[in-house]
Structure 1
Amino acid sequence: MSASQPTALIADDEPLLREALAAQLADAWPALQVVAHARNGREAIERFESLQPDICFLDVHMPGVSGIEAAQRIGRRAHLVFVTAFDHYAVQAFAHGVLDYLVKPVEAARLADTVSRLQERLRAVEPATNTDALLEELAARLRPPATQAPLRWLRALVGQTLKLIPVESIDYLRSDDKYTRIAWRDDGGQLAEALIRLPLKELLPQLDAAQFAQVHRSVVVSLRAISHVTRGDNDTADIHLKGRREVLPVSRTYLHLFRQM
């Protein structure tokens, strides 16, 4: 690609976040052409192979093929920028001075610094630095330990009382900013809710995959709590729960879990 017409791909499983980053890039770097959007790592790889953009903005956590895994496939053929809500992944990469990153929500000042570094790298004659070892290290950090037993209990403060919640009694978990809202049934079958100080993305790998399924970026549901699922417009669906009025969204990314409908 011509240095005066750099091109980019944005991969994130949330459409609004892809569009927001594209709009911010349009302001920070008008010459940059965003030539492709991808909903997951697999699409990112496919669209990279087809369009060969100069830069790839990759969300670290995507269903299926992660941003790290997509970056491993893309390798040195593009400049990589990770977009993440988790500083510990970002700092690990950036400390090596090889990969750049943006932390959600993306701040204008940070994006401007990233754009400046990318412009310098595009002007450089030398090829991109080999990042294979670093990417493998980051990918390993994303994998839960193979021997880790599923989580059995969660502690939550309800009023002034510390509750010990059996995971098997949970109907669903929903992201609430930096917290996670837990909806469960107590010993008497009464519906209850509480907030815990742990992000949903950190909880998810600890849950039993045979019992819980992520159905939206911000929602994980117990399969045993589902009454029925109804299809909506635009490749989405709604989950109706047994004995609860709440309706949980199923985003397009996770609709394949209910393809039999």
Structure 2
Amino acid sequence: MNQAYTTLIIDDEPPARARLYQLLENFPETFRVVDEVKNGIEAVEKINQLQPDVIFLDIEMPGWNGFEVLERLDKIPIVIFCTAFDQYSLKAFETNSIDYLLKPVRLERLQQTVEKLTTFKNNLSMATIKSVLKAFYEQKEEKKMTSITVKKGDKLIFIKLDEVSHFEADEKYVTVYTNKENHLIEQSLSHLEIKLPQAFIRVHRSVILNKNQVLDVQKYFNSRFVITLNNNRKTSITSGRSYNMTIKDWMDI
């Protein structure tokens, strides 16, 4: 590297920002801090404005958390997550564009990040963000999601997830299907993909299905699959090409 990485510190706690800034001063040839911000809204504005090479990003912040910040960016830089939640499974953060530091950040661990930076790439995808986010919340949530809430007028209906065959998006709406009926819900498919338990898998940009409700899977052309559900309608779903590897991993083929 010929010059230092332009660097942005994002943390809602002033002491944490000050400590990290002080530690980064030990690596003047690696990091050049261009600014500090204290919340997610400011972070999105500053990242899009300054286009830093590297961001040190707190995960839990008021308003938008670290993941919600990334989802709103025009271009995603190299990300070093900072978190105090050491009980979570942080191995999921170790990708070619993400690293993590446990608070309080220690100089020795930051040195490891410096050594790893040469292997990082500025090509963090939304798919990677979602996989990390899903792993994070699966570890964070002590109570697994077992039902989904549907509004019916002034009433709230709770549908058990094991009764759901699939979710399907159509323009602005998402429909949840069970053997008995179907309902429109307000949550987006992307939000559901993150929060739903492991029994659910996204097989198309507009479909998430319950793996426990699958009757059979057949290969289709162009690296796609036709998946038949074991519901009353024997619903047939054709997967999207970009979900080929996801489905293969699920079926272990």
Q: TM-score, normalised by structure 1?
A: 0.48
TM-score, normalised to structure 2's length?
Answer: 0.49
